Structure 1
Amino acid sequence: MGAAPSIPTDSSRTVQVIGAGFSRTGTVSMQMALEILLKGPVLHGGTQFITREDAYCKTWLSAYHAGEACDQDAVLKHLLELYPDAKVVLVKRDPVSWWRSADELRGQIALWWLRLVMWPVPGWRWLPYLMDEFAAGMNELKRRPRGDGTGLLTVEEAALGPHALENYYHRVRASVPKDQLLEMELGDGWEPLCTFLGAPVPNQPFPRANDAAASAETAKSVLALVAQVWVGILGALGGLVYLGTRVWHGRHF
């Protein structure tokens, strides 16, 4: 996470760009870049899922100009069926550093009490379920045939690791026509993305977000919000117990 949720504004516009980058590859930065180039809101899957009100989930993809962090290639295929003219941007990252980040995230969210603690907080209550889907996606990466079509994965290859990201890249390439696909890294800057979209290069640095520091700050703010909610809940329950006790004593003594 690490970005503010984007709000749709013009329902007459359709999806122009599909971000196919896998989680933890710089999808928030790409969302911010696309918002600048397209001059409109861009949906980022994780951010929209947990930082808006519950009812908002029902309006996903309404009036958005692009979508980012739509990880799985199965979803990508469906989106291309719905928006056959959309261009696809695959933001890539070094597989080793990606795996270090993704594996750390898996460990952080694999906590049995997370669902209970998050339950009272609108939007954020869905975080454990989102992480379940992330974990399922990670496991799905190791159950698939090789993305390059050279056969099934070996036992060593099926173990989760940096190679899982490369296998995902192969499957994206197999799903998207070459003239509709751009592969780039955040370090490439504006030039390849602007050329691909036919947009002028902005007079500002390429956005960089969702690094370790941003994620840590987001985690702190979430924990503070959860603590406030639970203090309110426990305070209200304590007040009810106190009033109930006073009433009971008043009737029996």
Structure 2
Amino acid sequence: MKVILAGLSKTGTKTMCAALSILGYDVYDWMENFYYLGDNWAKQFREGFRVQDMKRMYKNVNAVTDAPCDVYWEEIFEAFPDAKVILTERDEKGWIKSFQSQMDELNNNFNFRLIRTITYTGIKAQFHMSRVARHVGVARTWPFSDFVLYHDETLIRFKRKHEQRVKQVVPESQLLIYRVKDGWKPLCDFLGIEVPSIPFPHKNKGGTVLDQYRKENPVMGRMQNELRLSIRCLFVVFALLVFQLFRSFVV
């Protein structure tokens, strides 16, 4: 583990995931943490966090971003004390607005509702999100109901306390306080890497993370394939039921 992004969701985590990937890091963002380590995180939530588990989970991973690693950055840092920590910051009003936009997208996107209701991977993702939700500023809900943000002031207090803790714990030489608008130079200087020749990425503008995942993430592609298969299976079952009903009337 070389880089821990301790900035909360909606402070530019998708942009940072893309930037770190461009710089050559093997990054585990939200989707990778769910798909490859979801069962491990569930065990941690049930039984408590152990350094040896974190070391095992992330021994071959260069960097982590987004939930649940942003909230549990300190447990990861305890397992990898030589890692560099980046705290992405954002103005509170814009952060709340973006967070709400993200929740609206997750709640109102019909395609994603189908995925998390009738596909194997989608159902697993939904239960993972429900477990993580209460740890990252979202009210825990029944797995297939809406995600609801805590009150704005509660979220802001959570954000302030979180950022203060990062600044208190991480040695100054290992910590970068960063805003994504700062671009490549301060990030690359901190990591000791030459500035790339390509423009700095800007991902998930306006909270459209599902569109990004559909285009770029193979796990979401798998969910889409499972959705198509599930719909076909449901159609076949429905057709058989109609056929049996028709036969009963004919007979």
Verify the 8 A CA contact 2:99 2:207 in the aligned structure 1.
no
- Note closer, same or farther for the CA distance 1:20–1:109 as it changes in structure 2 (3 Å cut): same
**Which amino acid in the other structure matches residue 205 of structure 1?**
P
1:103 partnered with 2:125: no
What is the deviation of 1:236?
1.9
Name the structure 2 match of 1:241: 241
- Note closer, same or farther for the CA distance 1:106–1:40 as it changes in structure 2 (3 Å cut): closer
Name the structure 1 match of 2:211: 217
Name stretches of at least 5 consecutive residues in structure 2 with no aligned partner.
41-56, 140-150
**Which amino acid in the other structure matches residue 180 of structure 1?**
Q
Q: Secondary structure at the match of 1:81?
A: helix
1:123 to 115, 121, 124: 121
Q: Provide the identity percentage.
A: 25
Verify the 8 A CA contact 2:6 2:71 in the aligned structure 1.
no
Q: Distance in 2 between matches of 1:162 and 1:57?
A: 27
Verify the 8 A CA contact 1:95 1:166 in the aligned structure 2.
no
- Note closer, same or farther for the CA distance 1:198–1:134 as it changes in structure 2 (3 Å cut): same
Name the structure 2 match of 1:36: 22
Name the structure 1 match of 2:77: 80
- Note closer, same or farther for the CA distance 1:72–1:167 as it changes in structure 2 (3 Å cut): farther
- Note closer, same or farther for the CA distance 1:209–1:199 as it changes in structure 2 (3 Å cut): same
Q: Distance in 1 between matches of 2:165 and 2:138?
A: 15
Which residues in structure 2 correspond to 1:129-208 (within 5 Å)?
129-132=127-130, 133-138=132-137, 159-208=153-202
- Note closer, same or farther for the CA distance 1:212–1:242 as it changes in structure 2 (3 Å cut): same
Verify the 8 A CA contact 1:109 1:131 in the aligned structure 2.
no
- Note closer, same or farther for the CA distance 1:86–1:159 as it changes in structure 2 (3 Å cut): same
What is the deviation of 1:17?
0.7
Size of the aligned set, in residue pairs, is 214
**Which amino acid in the other structure matches residue 24 of structure 1?**
K
Name the structure 2 match of 1:151: none
The superposition leaves residues 122-181 of structure 1 with CA deviations (integer Å, 9 ceiling, x where unpaired) of 4333443344323442169xxxxxxxxxxxxxxxx9933545423321122123222111
Verify the 8 A CA contact 1:73 1:172 in the aligned structure 2.
no
1:47 to 28, 31, 54: 31
Q: Distance in 1 between matches of 2:244 and 2:181?
A: 62
Verify the 8 A CA contact 1:98 1:162 in the aligned structure 2.
no
- Note closer, same or farther for the CA distance 1:219–1:179 as it changes in structure 2 (3 Å cut): closer
Whose Rg is larger? Answer: 1
Q: Distance in 2 between matches of 1:73 and 1:249?
A: 58
Using the size of structure 2 for normalisation, the TM-score is 0.69
Q: Secondary structure at the match of 2:60?
A: coil
Q: Secondary structure at the match of 1:88?
A: strand
What is the deviation of 1:80?
1.2
Verify the 8 A CA contact 1:118 1:125 in the aligned structure 2.
yes
Verify the 8 A CA contact 1:26 1:186 in the aligned structure 2.
yes
Q: Secondary structure at the match of 2:137?
A: helix
RMSD: 3.7
- Note closer, same or farther for the CA distance 1:73–1:18 as it changes in structure 2 (3 Å cut): closer
Using the size of structure 1 for normalisation, the TM-score is 0.68
